[in-house]
């Protein structure tokens, strides 16, 4: 099994391409040789159905899984209106090298269903992981969410929403897991790794920071300002959230760096363990090899400090 930092170095080399934040990872598969012998790869599992669309995820689980395994859930980028999970496979390598289980999630894009469909789908994917944890030996006490750009936003909102929220109503339910009051047990996220994700969606709909992808995601919805607030991670900052690490270039013009700064400040004020890694001179992804290696090393340290990753 390849060790963490050596695989992170390989990922860094492969990610030196524009558009990392938009989910444009090269569609080659050099990763396969590293995981095929140690992992069961279960592609395109249907985790929910919405708008007559089967929503799929890919599951990577170690063949040797006698004990519950830490689990990463990855959401791809693309401004909520483009991208696909298959372009994300190289981002799984660092966690596969640790022997973790990995869940690579697709969700409805804006051209199929506008906001908040992507948020609903990602919440359902999280619930699917919890409901099938025993079947695949997934450790529900060590679930980590991650993604870049819109995927970073989805990782944040999926992990930060409170248990009772309107975005879980579309999810398939399992009556055997319900409490007596009809609600389901909360799914606790252990940590969130946010790569330059959107934290204030409303800011991207109007004004100087308006972005075409956000406008397209909401379309002509009459209640878009209120809905944008409801799907903004900044709305849900409060004590008790899972630890959050953010990596963001300070020259990002696709997702303003100030959004990362505001999230960091709000989390600090609420006493939430968090870290902001500022990538000096970098834009929206396209980091240099060394910037990526440094970022991944910081992630490893953060996960260890958060008791998600065991000390070596």
pLDDT 10s digit of each residue in the chain, 312 long?
333 334 444 444 344 333 343 433 333 344 455 555 689 999 999 999 999 999 999 999 999 998 999 999 999 999 999 999 999 888 899 999 999 999 999 999 999 999 999 999 999 999 999 999 999 999 999 999 999 999 999 999 999 999 889 999 888 766 544 444 455 567 899 999 999 999 999 999 999 999 999 999 999 898 899 999 999 999 999 999 999 999 999 999 999 999 999 999 999 999 999 999 999 999 999 999 999 999 999 999 999 999 999 876
Residues recorded for the chain: 312
φ/ψ of 140, rounded to 5, equals -70, -10
Q: What is the pTM of this model?
A: 0.89
CATH for 204: 3.40.50.1820
pLDDT tens-digit series, residues 111-138: 999 999 999 999 999 999 999 999 999 9
Q: Is residue 311 part of a domain?
A: no
* Domain total in the chain: 1
Handedness of CA 118, 139, 103, 135 (dihedral sign): negative
Q: Is residue 271 part of a domain?
A: yes
Token pair 């909520």: residue: 80
Q: Is residue 102 part of a domain?
A: yes
Q: Is residue 312 part of a domain?
A: no
Beta bridge partners of 74: 104, 146
- The closest of 206, 253, 211, 259 to 232, measured between CA atoms, is 259
Q: Is 104 helix (H, G, I), strand (E, B) or coil?
A: strand
- The closest of 203, 116, 212, 123 to 159, measured between CA atoms, is 123
Could you tell me if 116 and 230 are in contact, meaning their C-beta atoms sit under 8 angstroms apart?
Answer: yes
Q: Is residue 164 part of a domain?
A: yes
Could you tell me if 160 and 241 are in contact, meaning their C-beta atoms sit under 8 angstroms apart?
Answer: yes
The rounded radius of gyration (Å) of the Cα atoms in the chain is 18
Q: Is residue 243 part of a domain?
A: yes
Q: Is residue 27 part of a domain?
A: yes
Which residues span the domain enclosing 185?
4-305
Q: For residues 241 and 190, give the distance between their C-alpha atoms in angstroms, rounded to a whole number.
A: 9
């Amino acid at each position: 099994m390849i060790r963490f930092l050596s695989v992170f170095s390989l990922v860094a080399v492969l990610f030196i391409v524009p558009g990392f934040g938009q989910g444009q990872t090269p569609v080659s598969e050099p990763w396969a040789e590293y995981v095929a012998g140690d992992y069961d790869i279960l592609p395109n599992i249907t985790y929910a159905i919405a708008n007559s669309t089967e929503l799929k995820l890919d599951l990577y689980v170690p063949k040797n899984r006698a004990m519950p395994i830490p689990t990463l859930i990855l959401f791809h980028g693309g401004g909520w209106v483009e991208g696909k999970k298959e372009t994300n496979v190289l981002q799984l390598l660092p966690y596969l090298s640790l022997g973790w289980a990995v869940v690579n999630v697709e969700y409805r894009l804006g051209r199929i269903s506008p906001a908040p469909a992507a948020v609903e789908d990602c919440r359902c994917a999280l619930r699917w992981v919890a409901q099938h944890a025993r079947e695949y030996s997934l450790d529900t006490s060590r679930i980590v969410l991650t993604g870049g750009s819109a995927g970073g936003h989805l990782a944040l909102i999926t992990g930060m929403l409170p248990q009772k929220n309107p975005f879980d109503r579309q999810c398939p339910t399992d009556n055997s897991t319900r409490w007596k009051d009809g609600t389901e047990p909360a799914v606790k996220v252990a940590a969130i790794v946010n790569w330059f994700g959107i934290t204030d969606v409303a800011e991207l709909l109007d004004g100087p920071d308006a972005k075409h992808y956000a406008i397209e995601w909401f379309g002509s919805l009459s209640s878009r300002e209120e809905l944008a607030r409801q799907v903004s991670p900044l709305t849900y900052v409060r004590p008790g959230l899972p630890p959050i690490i953010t990596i963001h270039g300070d020259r990002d013009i696709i997702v303003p760096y100030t959004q990362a700064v505001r999230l960091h400040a709000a989390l600090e004020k609420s006493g939430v363990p968090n870290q902001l890694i500022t990538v000096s001179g970098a834009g929206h992804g396209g980091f240099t090899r060394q910037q990526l290696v440094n970022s991944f090393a910081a992630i490893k340290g953060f996960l260890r400090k958060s008791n998600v990753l065991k000390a070596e």
